[in-house]
Amino acid sequence: MAEKRNNGYPLQYITNSQEFMGLDFYVQEGVLIPRPDTETLVETVINIVKERYNKEIKILDLGTGSGAIAISLAYYLRNS
């Protein structure tokens, strides 16, 4: 494990885990590692939905890696 890290192998692939929006996601090689910058996008969408819509909405997320965006939106907007 230490050798992989020394060679620049992402810790998230070693531990198969990445925290995103307060949720833990399983990641492995070939899956995009959820990034903190993307949390800003998700937080913005959550805020817009909560401020502008007072009805149920549908959000479609296709082919974006680990599914962290869609899962986080579903989790935090489940009562929207």
Task: Say what the pLDDT of residue 62 is.
Answer: 85
Per-residue pLDDT band at 3 (split at 50, 70, 90): confident
CA distance 77 to 19: 18
Q: Which residue is it, tokens 């925290």?
A: 19
Task: Say what the pLDDT of residue 57 is.
Answer: 84
Phi first, then psi, for residue 28 (nearest 5°) are: -145, 170
Which top CATH class is 2-76? alpha beta
CA distance 76 to 14: 28
Residues 22-35, mean pLDDT to the nearest whole number: 94
State pLDDT tens for residues 29-78. Answer: 998 999 999 999 999 999 999 998 877 788 888 877 789 999 999 999 98
Q: For residue 26, what are its two tokens?
A: 């399983």
Q: Is residue 20 within a helix (H) or strand (E), and if so which, with residue range?
A: strand 18-20
Task: Say what the pLDDT of residue 55 is.
Answer: 77
- Residues 6 or more apart whose Cβ sits within 8 Å of residue 3: none
